[in-house]
Amino acid sequence: MVGFFVAAAVVTALQFLRVKDRRLLLLLALFLCLAAAHSLEWWDPWKARFHFAAGFAGLGLVLALAPRHRLGP
């Protein structure tokens, strides 16, 4: 499971270097936090912290990808 998240983070980092879209940094943070969380034992308190950080990165990604509505001319 950790290998999948690390591979996804590497692909996301390469895509960021290619297109320079800052929203990809949130996705990169999500994958790295999930990789860190899954690499720890179940009793480690940092496991829950990394999961929360991944959740916040996901929420930030949702906000970054949300369409922006203009108020008018």
Full-model pTM = 0.87
* pLDDT in the model for residue 9: 95
- Is 12 inside a domain boundary? yes
- Is 70 inside a domain boundary? no
* pLDDT in the model for residue 72: 65
Mean pLDDT, the chain cut into blocks of 10 residues (73 residues total): 93 96 95 95 94 96 88 69
* pLDDT in the model for residue 60: 95
- One-letter amino acid for residue 5 of the chain: F
Q: Which residues lie closer than 8 Å to 24 by C-beta, 6 or more apart?
A: 12, 15, 16
Rounded distance between C-alpha atoms, residue 33 and residue 37, angstroms: 6
Q: Which domain holds residue 22?
A: 2-65
- Is 71 inside a domain boundary? no
Residues 39, 2 contacting (CB under 8 angstroms) = yes
What sign for the dihedral angle of Cα 65, 25, 3, 35?
A: negative
* pLDDT in the model for residue 69: 77
* pLDDT in the model for residue 1: 83
